[in-house]
Each structure stands twice: as C-alpha cells, then as structure tokens.
Structure 1
Amino acid sequence: MLSIRRSSISLIRCLAPNTKSSNLYGSSHFRMPLSFFTSKAELPSPETSFIVKYLIDSVGLSSEKAIKASKFIAHIKSPSQPDSVLHFFKQNGFTDADIKRIILQHSRLLCANVDSTLKPKIEALSKLGFTKTQFVKLVTASPTALNYLNYNNVRPRIEFLRAFLGSNDKIVKAFSHDVTLLARSFEKIIKPNIIFLTECQVSDAIIGFLLTKVRLIIGRPVNVLKAAVKRIDELGIPRGSWMFYQALRSICSNTSEQVDAKIKLLSGLGFSEPEISSAIRKQPYVLSLSEKNLRETVTFLVKEAGCDHSYLSSHPNIFTFSLSKRLVPRNLVLKLLKAKGILKKDPGFFNVSSISESQFVEKFIFRYGEKMPELHDVYLSASAGEVPS
C-alpha cells in the first residue's frame, strides 16, 4: 500500500505546472554603437551566402538561425575577422555552446576588433579583481554587457555595489540579470535610485534582492521609482518591510493605469475598499496578476468554493495559486467529501489550498480512500483539466 501511495503522489506531482523564466534581454533593448565594430553592418542581399555558411560550419548554428543571424553581418566576405573573434572567445574560456549562444543573440560581435575592442573589456574587469570565469558568465548570460565593459564605466558601479552585494559573483549576477545597471547613467540614475531606497528604509539585503532578482527597477528614471514608492505609501504598505519589496516589484511591473484597472476590477467583483486595501497590503503580488486571472479566480472562489469577500481579503495568498491545477481539483474533492457527509468540519478552503500536494493527497485522498475509492481517479482527472460538469 505504501508503494502505491508513493507512486500515486509522484504521478500527481507530475501534473503540477512547470514554470520557467528567462533572465536574458533581447537584442532590441539596447543598440550597440557603430564604434563598437570595425565596420558598419549592411543589410543582407539575396546573394549573400558566405556568412550563412560560416555561421553553420564555424559557429554551429542551424540553417534557419544562421540566416536570421546573418542579416546584421552580410558584408563579411572573409573568415579572417570572425575567426579572430571566435579565437578570442575560446582562448578566454568560452565553450562552443557559450559562443553559439552569444553569436545567436549578437552576431555583430563577429565584426568586433579583438585588440582594440574585446581585449580591453576583459582587462577592465581583471583590473577590478574579476576572473576570466566571471567574465565568461557575464558575457554568456548577457552579451549586450560587452558594450559597456570599459574601466571608467564599470569601476564606480562595482565599487558602489560591493556595499550591497559583497562578492564579485553577486555583482556579475546583477549585471547579467539586468544590463541597465551597466547601460544607464551611474551618477544620474543607478546611484540616486539606490540612495533613495535607503532613505525609504529599505535594507541593504532587500536592495541586494532587487539588484540580483528583479529587472528594470534600479535602472528606471528616478522620478518613475519615486512615483512607485508614492503609490505604495498610498496603499498603506510600510516602507522598509518585506511587503514593501514585494509591492515595489508589483507596482513597477505595471503602469499606473494597470494598477488602477486591477483595483477597479476587484471593486467590481464585490470587494469593498477596505477589503481591497487589506488584500494588497498582505499580498502585493495580487497586483502582478492579469485582470483575466483575477476575474476568473475571484469568480470561482466566490461562486464555486463558497468563499466570501471578507475571507478572501484576509487570505489573499489564495489568489496566487493555480486555478486549474490546484483550486479547482481540491475544491472538487472537498465537494464530494461534503456531499457524502464524510467531512464533519469545514477545514477552510485557504487551509486546504495552501498545503503541499503530498499533504493534500495524504489528508484528503488516501485518508478517505476506503469510503470513496473514486476520489483518487477524480482528483487525477481534475488536475489534468478534466472536470465533470
């Protein structure tokens, strides 16, 4: 029986969503100045074939990706220039996979002059105590960072950020995660934003989280960050708290109009102003959810799960759970148990929703398996999106 339970739990876990996030910028976010390259890139012509073949044979790109990457470097007619770039990368510890990733994102790097452009980049970091391995990690994660790796640009940033991040590895992680930390003006944007946050009682640790975990906050114009903090103040979230950090992430991921629209939506769904304020103060991530997600989740929780608005505003974490993978299947199980008179006491839907998958299966599926053997199959089907009408 134990082995059956374990296999069942494993099967159910397989039904959980698998989310991935990407920390890389697309090449459209920052334009590389022409001075970065030895010659101006031209638009490809239909006759161009040398560079496509080179990208396939020497870099390892597929035909489709080689054609896409070649449009920026169609003027290259000889292997000497790109060969020197590939040699530089390999000499400094980049693997073939690293190089493929870099060139796929920024093929124009094959036009860069090794002696006057690329070598000074690695030398700038070396002077500041960074290793070749750290250089490789940074450039592989964010090839656009190469454009800003000159000594005068990176030195003040690194010296300032060490107070919040400590190690060079964390600084590399921050630059890799958010290239605006290198691209934006240090004196006019990066430094003033961090100083402003410290004035808002945000701890060094939370600033470190913002630098390494969240994109496009520290690199925003100062007035934009100040407007976000003003809005957080209006929501009643205390400065310096962990909820302030969460709210900053949520507010900065939306425009002011989007925040207003979500608050208006919650009001239209039956929440009072105090309930909305309470929910956002307790879980600012509510503002990061799409209007569609909010509407569908609230409608289900009220109409199907029987939760009133006061209960939901007191337990706003429930909005962050997957509707199809968690809330709907677990509510179905509770309904069946209640209909059979098996559950003598209402466990509270938030409590049921917040426990782990294995705990839920053990407590509500296996526990009542003898009385309702169909529960297991019903739950598996519901978790897979097959909900009986």
Structure 2
Amino acid sequence: MLLRRRRSCGRGSALSGVAVAWLCVLAGGPAVSGPSSWWTAGYPRQVHRSLAEVELLSHLAVILVPQIPIKELFRDFCVEPSENWASSRLSPDLAVPGVLREKNAILFLEYDGYYRHHLPCGIQADERKNAALLQHAPLGSHIVRVAHAGRNWSEVQDSVIESVVGTWQPGDPKSLLQSVAQVTDCLASELTVSLLRSETARRMNWKNLERAKTFVDQAVLSNAVGTRESRSCEIMRFFQEDIGLSELAAKSTLQKHIQLLACSIEANLKPTVQWLRELGLSDGQVSKAIANFPQLLGYSIEANLKPTVEWLLEMGLSDGQVCKAIAYCPRVLGYSIEGNLKPTVQWLHGLGLSDGQVCKAIASFPQLLGLSIDGNLKPTVEWLHEVGLSDGQVCKASASFPQLLGLSIDGNLKPTVEWLHELGLSDGQVSKAIASFPQLLGYSIEANLKPTVQWLRELGLSDGQVSKAIANFPQLLGYSIEANLKPTVQWLHELGLSDGQVSKAIANFPQLLGYSIEANLKPTVQWLLELGLSDGQVSKAIASFPQLLGYSIEANLKPTVEWLHELGLSDGQVSKDIASFPQLLGYSIEGNLKPTVQWLHELGLSDGQVSKAIANCPQLLGYSIEANLKPTVLWLRELGLSDGQVCKAIANFPQLLGLSIDGNLKPTVEWLHELGLSDGQVSKAIASCPRLLGSSIEGNLKPTVQWLHELGLSDADTLKVVAACPASLLLSIEGNLKPTVEWLHEVGLSDVQVSSAIARCPQLLGLSIEANLKPTVQWLHDMGFIDRQVSKAIASFPQLLGLSMAKNLGPKLGLLQSYYDASFIRDMIAAFPALLAYSRDRLEHRLHILHGQGQLSRLKSAMSLTNERFRLRGLRSKATCATWTMWQQDPKYKWMGHGVSDTKLFGFHGRLQNDLPHTYSPGEHQRLPRHMSTERDCHPVDVIRPALPGYSGFLPGRVPLRVSPLVP
C-alpha cells in the first residue's frame, strides 16, 4: 500500500544543549481523552522484541501521554483470526490512546528499523499488519511507521503515514533524542487535523525523560531472561570468556549493538560463534568480527548466515576467501541477497567485469556488496569518466581496486585529483595515473601524498622531476618513507652512488624505490660482480641504467649473457659491454638481439666481425633496423660507397649506425664538400675512416683544419692531407698534433720542413712519439746518422718514421748488410731514405741482379725503375740497331736475322715478351708488336727468349744471326 504521506526528516534537526521537541496540536477539543474499551481490553507485554524499539518508543510514550505508565502502552490484543490475519493476537509496537481527535481512536507507532522490513516479504507483512490494526481498532485510528529509509508500498491509505528518521547510537542520548524529535515533528505536521490540541507545548528534557531511561534498563527482551543490567553483565562475561574480548572491548561491543540484550546466549550467541569457527575463522578473527560488527550475533544462522555463505561460494569464492571476507567485513552477512548482493553483482557485470574479476573484487573488498548502486557506484563511475578514463580503464580500475567504488567523491577523489594538478600533472597524466594505479585515490593527502613529495624534494628532485616520477609511477606515493624509501636510498649510497646519482636514478626510474633490497637489489648486484664487473663498474651501471635492478636474473640477465657467449664474445668482452652499456641486458633476445645480428650477417659481416662490432659497440644491438640501420646503409650507398666498403666501415666503426643522418652524417659530408673534397674523395675518405662521420664539426674537424693552416699548410695542402689521411682530423690537437710538431722541431726540422712533411705524409701525425718516432730516430743514430742527417732524412722522406722496426727497417738493414759495409749503407740511406720504403722482395731481387753484374753501386737508380724498365735497362744501353740481312718465308718457317755489336750484354739471355711478326713479308712495312718499331729496314731489339730453338750464339761485328724458326 502506498502511504498517504511520507515524512523524511534528516539528522540535521537542531537540539541545542538539551534536546527539545515541540508537539503543537492545532485542533480544538479536550486536552486528552480517556482510553477506549478496546484499548483497555488489551494487556501489557511482559517481554519485548527489540531494544531499539523499546528505546525509541518509550521516549515517545513519555512525550505523548506522560500520565500513562510506559509499560501499559506496549500492549497485545486478542482478535478473531481472519484470512488476512491468521493469528489470534495482534501486537502493535506501541498503542497510544487519547491523543487523536476521534473518540476512542488509537495512535499506533511501529518501529521498522530491522532490515527485513525493507524486503518485499517484509513490506507485505507490514501491509497485512496495517490492515489488521485498522480493521480491529476503533474508527479514526492512525498508524505511524518509523523507519530509516523510505519504502514503496502497494497502495495508498490515508490512515497510515511513514516517518523516515536517522539512526542513533545505542546508549547515546543525544543521537536518540534527535530521532525522537524527528518523529514528533512528523506527528505535528502530518496529523494536524487528527491530533487533539494540547493546552501547552511540552518541553523535553532529561528530567521528564528519566522514566523512559528507567523503563529501558528494566525491560525484559525476548529470548532472554532478566533485566537490562543483568543481561549486560551476562553478555559482557560471554564476550570476555567465550570470545576473548577485553573488558573495555566487551563494553564497547555491547554499546554498538545494545539489541544483543534481547538475544539468548545459549540459543543465539553461542551457536553463531560456533558456526563462525566451523566456517574457518580463527578465535582472533571471530573476536575481531564480533567487536567490529556485533549485529552479526543477532542474525539467524539458517535464515541469514548460511544462505549468504552459500551464495558467496556459488559466486566462485573459495572457502578461504569466504572466511577472509567475513573476517574483514562481517557485515556482509547482513546484506540482503536479493536486495544488495545480486543487484550489485549484476551491476558489476554490466560495468564490464568478468565473473572472475567480480569474484576477486568481492574477495578483496567485500564491503563493495553493501554500497548503494545509485548512491555510490554509479556516481563514482560517472566521475571517473569525467576525469578522462575510458570504459575499459574504469572496468580495469574497479577490478584491480574495488575499494575505489567506496571512496567519497567530494571527500577523497576530487581533493586528490586537485592535489595532483597542483603538483604539475596534466589532465592526461592524472587520468593515466588513476587508470594504472587507482589505489592512488585512496591515500591521505596529508598523511601519505604530501610527506612523500616533500621527501623526494629533499632527496634532490626538482618539482618537474617529482611530477614526472609520479606521472610515470604513481605507485611511488604508496610506499612507506621509513620502511621502503629511506632504506633503498641508504643502500644505493652504500653501493657507491653519490647523492646526485641517487636523485637522478630515482627521477629516471622511480620504480627502483619499490624493489625489495633482499629479494631484488642485492641478488642483482651480486650477479653482476660474479660476472666480472668491479664495484665501481656496478655502481656506474646502476647510476646510468637503474632499470637494470628490475630485471629477473633467470628470465632476463642470464639468457642474454649466454646468448652473447654463443655469439662469440669472451667473458671479458661481455662484462665490458655490460659495464659500458647495461641497457643491453634489457633487450629481448628474440625481438631485438637476434634480428639485428641476422641483419648484420645479411649485410656481409662475418661472424667474427659481428662479434667484434658488438664487443666494441654494444649499443648497436639497441638500434632499430628500420629506423636506424637500413636508412644509414642506404645513405652510405647513395654517397658512393660499395657494398664491401659499407660492410667494412660498419665492421670498423659500428657506432656509425647510431648516428643521425640529418644531425651528423649529412652535415659532415657537406662540410667536407665545402672544404674542397670531391664526391669521390668524400666517399673514399669515409670508406677509409668512417669515424670521421662521428666527429664534431665544431669540436674536432674545424679546429684541426684551422690548426693545419696555422702550421703553414696551404688550402691545397690541407685538402690533400684530409683526402689522403682523413683520420688526421680525429687526432687531438693538444694530445697528438702539437706534441708531434714539437718533437719534429726538436729533431731539427724547420717550420717549413714540418709543414712540408705533414703535407706529404699526414699519417705522420698519428704516430706515437714513444712507440714509433723516437725508436726510428734512435735506429738511425745507431746506424751512425748524425742529427743533421736524421732531420734531413725525415724532411726528405717523412714516411720513414712510419716504417716498422721489426717488419721493415730491421730485415732490410740485414739484407743490405749482406752486400754493403755499414758506412756505405749509412750514406746511401742518408742520400736516399726512400730506399727503405720498397718491398723486401724487390730489394732482394735487384741486389742479386746488380751483384751479379757487379753494379751494386747503382742500387739507388735501379730501385726506382719499374720491373719492365729494370729488365730492359742494360740491353738497351748496349744494343745497336742492325739492318735486316735476311728474311725468308716458306709455308712452315719464318726467321729474322740481325746484327749486334757486343756478345756480353746485360739481359741478353732474358725473356722475350713478344713474338716476332708472323705477317711481315719482304717489301711490306706492317705494324710490329708494341715492343718493336720499324724504320725502313731496321728495328731495335727489345728482349729475346732464352734457349730459343736454333740458337747458335752471337758473332762479333755486323754478322747476320739466325734467331729462331717459327712455326706459323
């Protein structure tokens, strides 16, 4: 039935000092009418059903009819059973006569505080009772149903109204009187016409309410024997002896739910405690559950507790999860399955949570089932959407942190978001932080968030770094400063990191503060030390790449090291790579490392070159094939390098692949072009010295060119130096170039000679003074060179300083000593130091020939000849042109005769390079082979074959000589 009116009174009714309520009756008539015969036919109840009912209604009794004893108003009435009311007894909670205008009419007050009154079955039962009361009571009677929330009735009835009041704390007079005042206010406003007018307004105070308090203390409740005081003692003793609560806790528990005085210890309390223990709760959990929610002891095991547990199990919770849920939130056993549990689960499914997620959410936050869908859940979800979370993010956040749905929007959520904005996070960063770590919204700003931020600032992080760290890792705000943050920082300091390195590491990788020192940090450091890194290298690696400490040793670190070993790197190379580039350990073997190595192989690098490249430049494995490697190779090819040159350049300088095309490569090439190098010279320079592309134009290249100019080299000479030896541009002016020039001056070279030497041999600048230059000069001195001869030799042939003592100078000196004395060797090298630049084989061969001819003194001129000219040199100097004396041709043989002036010619028995002409015939002048020429009837002899067929020697004078019959 829909009630005629519903009076909803909040808990804001003011009661200054002593609670005051006014019952102003506006209708005329006598002050109070006497009880009717129907009312007097009833009888007072000896046992009361609910302590809350007795508390509220006894105070209303004193206010409404102070002249009637309170116990008389709690009455039962005998009635004839009917179809609607099968019982022969009708028991209104409170029956007040003489306050309504209609003669003999009764004002019934019903207290519906128990949750079952809000269930469909409870509402139907209350409607049946309303009908029975109005059927049997005198005409004009009214019913006032007092509840803590409004209900939907099936029909309207003018004689029944509902008064919605706030709750009160048992034993707290102030909160109780607030609820009493709300009821009296409802009576005054809703029953104005029906109530009798009182002569004066009655003022409620402690004095005239004392009777109500006394009545409550002496009331006997159902299922329990004794007065309130005796019952309190019994239940407190039960709490202490059977449940294990302290005296103070027992008293506090009873005050929370004074209605327990109406419960039987043997019939209600003990069985419930036993049931909880059988469910799996420990004694401590049982005592804690009852202390937190003593109402639990008033529930029926069969009607409430067991059905709720069975429903939770059907939802998918394990026995342990159910036990844990009840231990942490015992009030879940008081929720209505149909009114709370099922609708909430259905709503969660509608939000997008799976069965498993719903089950997990309930297990971790059973309080979720008690939240109002319209009052809590829906508004929170709408707010999350407004903050910027998508449906999926809201679903995920609710599943991972269901407590979020129970937080107050105005008390928790909005203030936290506002604080994050003030910290410097953008709207997007805030929504992302909440989506990834919704627990953030549950932290106290004053107790958690602000202290953590202050600690980070004291650690050395700037405001920007703090906001960035929180945006990237909001979990940071949930760590304990004393238990997590400070110990981790202390450990990092002990590891060797400075204050600046610690703050930088945390700013770059705030997740570091969440790792366990014993379970994560120490084992990783120990593993690095065992790998071969020193303490300093470990400290440096962590400072530059703190993410290293977050990797799993078994799943990440060890497999990567094993793969590097399989690739061919030694233990030392692996430890060196990790020390210089710890990021290597974070790459996926299948996703990064193997594909890069495969690409290098396809480019043409051998296994050895690949392993060497990675050993020298482990960063290579972190470059993107599509974004870095392929574009760089393509650019090198377009520059003019062949595939082989590209491959060689990468093998020698793998860092090349990490350089920016637009930021490094192109500007360097443009600068080389501006310097005067042609396209071919540029490509050749890069092919021979790819490191050139990694040098700074302003920091290295331009200063070196400027230094060369200041040294006296012209633009042309400088260009020649760069083209011939681009590596010279990479040398340090202070560390290499200037010391070398100073040393050359000390050796005796003038400024002009130095600049000339560098122009002709720029490689000279890259030689080590101690390892190359000084030993070579000492070697010359050991041969007998004086200082002037040394400087002259270097000035005339600076390449001398680059020759190896062991592989060049020493072996050649030994060879010369086989033919010459020391002084001759000294003078010859002083006059012709370039002699030492020729190959040992060439020197040995020509020494042998010259020695056979007795012409060792002519070594200098002989060494400069090409091999061909050296073979022809002696013969041409002695041979004379001879006229043709005989030419005869037949079908089979051709021969030619000529005369010579000397039979002891050098090379006379040498090797003929070209056959005699086969098509030359008398009377014709045809083109002869390239080593011959014709002038009328004569030609010079170049060389002849040894042991020619038909050879018979040489005759003196101009005598025809038969050389060889040739078969056509």
Instruction: Give the TM bin, normalised by the shorter chain.
Output: 0.5 to 0.7
- Is the Cα–Cα contact under 8 Å of residues 202 and 239 in structure 1 kept in the other structure? no
Q: 1:140 aligns with which of 637, 641, 647?
A: 647
Go from structure 1 to structure 2 and tell me whether the alpha carbon gap of 1:165 and 1:276 turns closer, same or farther (over 3 Å shift).
same
Deviation per residue, 1:245-272 (Å, 9 max, x gap): 2344235223246322221221121122
- Residue 728 of structure 2 aligns to a residue whose secondary structure is coil
- Residues 1:112 and 1:235: Cα distance change in structure 2 (over 3 Å): same
Following superposition, the deviation at residue 219 of structure 1 comes to 0.6
Q: Report the alpha carbon displacement of residue 43 of structure 1 after superposing the two structures with TM.
A: 6.7
Report the counterpart of residue 14 of structure 1 in structure 2: none
**1:120-135 alignment to 2 at 5 Å?**
121=632, 131=638
1:334 aligned to 2:853? Answer: no
Contact persistence 1:122–1:132 (CA under 8 A): no
Structure 2 partner of 1:164? 675
Among 802, 827, 835, the residue aligned to 1:318: 835
Q: 1:222 and 1:211 mapped to 2: Cα distance?
A: 15
SS at match of 2:713: coil
Q: Distance in 2 between matches of 1:372 and 1:132?
A: 49
TM-score by length of 2: 0.28
1:303 to partner: Cα distance: 5.8
CA contact (8 A) 1:200 1:239 kept: no
1:4-60 deviations in Å (ceiling 9; x for gaps): xxxxxxxxxxxxxxxxxxxxxxxxxxxxx9x9xxx99957679659x96xxxxxxxx
Q: In structure 2, give the amino acid aligned to 1:235.
A: L
What per-residue deviation string (whole Å, max 9, x for no partner) do you get for residues 128-171 of structure 1?
xx837659677533222112235333454333221224445533
Match of 2:688 among 161, 164, 177: 177
**Structure 1 CA distance, aligned partners of 2:785 and 2:603?**
52
Distance 1:317 1:166 in 2: 29
Distance 2:702 2:803 in 1: 30
1 CA distance for matches of 2:606 and 2:624? 19
Quote the Cα distance in structure 2 between the aligned partners of 1:262 and 1:99: 37
Rounded to whole Å, the distance in 2 between the matches of 1:116 and 1:372 is 63
Name the structure 2 match of 1:252.
Answer: 766
Deviation per CA, 1:311-355, whole angstroms, max 9, x where unpaired? 3311111111223x12233222222223xxxx6xx7622112221
**1:185, distance to aligned residue in structure 2 (A):** 3.4
By relative contact order (CA 8 Å, sep 6+), the higher-ranking structure is: 1
What residue ranges of structure 1 are gaps of 5+ in the alignment? 1-32, 53-65, 378-389
Q: 1:290 to 1:245 in 2, by over 3 A?
A: same
Q: Report the residue type matching 1:334 in the other structure.
A: L
In structure 2, the CA distance between the partners of 1:137 and 1:170, relative to structure 1 (3 Å rule), is farther
CA 1:357 to 1:76, structure 2 compared with 1: closer, same or farther past 3 Å?
same
Report what 1:192 is aligned to. 703
Whether the 8 Å contact between 1:259 and 1:287 is mirrored in structure 2 is: yes
- Shift of the 137–205 alpha-carbon distance from structure 1 to 2, 3 Å rule, reads farther
Distance 1:297 1:46 in 2: 48
Choose 1 or 2 for highest CA Rg. 2
Give 3-state SS (helix, strand or coil) of 2:773's partner.
helix
- Cα separation, partners in 2 of 1:74 and 1:279, compared to 1, 3 Å: same
Q: In structure 1, give the amino acid aligned to 2:699.
A: K
In structure 2, stretches of 5+ residues that fail to align are: 1-540, 578-583, 876-903, 912-944, 947-968
Q: Is the 8 A contact 1:206 1:245 kept in 2?
A: yes
**Secondary structure of residue in 2 paired with 1:235:** coil
Q: 1:106 aligns with which of 613, 622, 630?
A: 613
Structure 1, residues 37-86: CA drift from partner, whole Å, max 9, x if none? xx99957679659x96xxxxxxxxxxxxx545997789876644467658
* 2:447 match: none
Higher strand proportion (structure 1 or 2): 2
TM-score (structure 1 length as normaliser): 0.62
Equivalences for 1:25-64 in 2 at 5 Å? 48=563
Distance 1:168 1:45 in 2: 42
195-204 vs 237-246, which moves further: 237-246
Alignment of 1:1-389 (within 5 A): 48=563, 66-68=567-569, 79-81=590-592, 96-98=602-604, 103=610, 105-106=612-613, 109-114=620-625, 117-118=628-629, 121=632, 131=638, 139-143=646-650, 144=654, 145-214=656-725, 216-223=727-734, 224-233=736-745, 234-236=748-750, 238=752, 243-256=757-770, 258-292=772-806, 293-298=808-813, 300-301=815-816, 304-306=819-821, 307-323=824-840, 325-338=841-854, 348-363=858-873, 367-368=905-906
Contact 2:772 2:802 in 1 (8 A): no
The verdict on how the C-alpha distance between 1:313 and 1:146 changes in structure 2, with shifts beyond 3 A counting, is: same
Cα RMSD after superposing both structures: 4.6
Q: Percent identity?
A: 18
| Greater displacement, 182-191 / 356-365 | 356-365
Q: Secondary structure at the match of 1:305?
A: coil
Q: Distance in 1 between matches of 2:676 and 2:558?
A: 42
- Shift of residue 194 of structure 1? 1.0
